[in-house]
Amino acid sequence: MNMSRWIVPAVGFVIGLLVAAAMLGGKATPLEAAIGFAVVAAYALGLRLLQTRSETASLLSGLPVDERWEAINAAALSLAAQTLAVILLAAFLVTQFRGGDSTPYTLLGAAFAMAYFGGIVWYRWRL
């Protein structure tokens, strides 16, 4: 039995529990918290059930089936990162122009940049 196939559902259930706990702490009803848990858990379990039947589900589980799917994953991650960078910059600028507190966008942008530059250094050294 390959235990790596169960990592996503296990992490999904833990995240689901954290979502439910956060919702309860934010004054949600127990039913709302249960729905929050169920959505995350169903997604994680659905990925597990589809891993062997769907190359996309396998990729979303972190188990690309071949080099082509690894390349698709790299391209999709690059697109997502570039999109996120533009959205963070736009949110920062809009908040600045409106006179609001742009600190959250500044911190998220800094975390994004540090992760990107840290990744460059790490992979340059490791690969």
Q: Which tens digits make up the pLDDT trace of 84-124? A: 999 999 999 999 999 999 999 999 999 999 999 999 999 99
Q: In 42-70, which positions are buried (b, 16+ CB within 10 angstroms) versus exposed (e)?
A: ebbebbbeebeeebebbbbbebbeeeeee
DSSP E strands: which ranges in 2-80? none
Cα(82)–Cα(76) distance, integer angstroms:
10
22-38 tens-digit pLDDT: 999 999 999 999 999 99
**What pTM does this model have?**
0.76
CA distances from 53 to 2, 23, 28, 59, 70 (A): 16, 34, 37, 11, 17
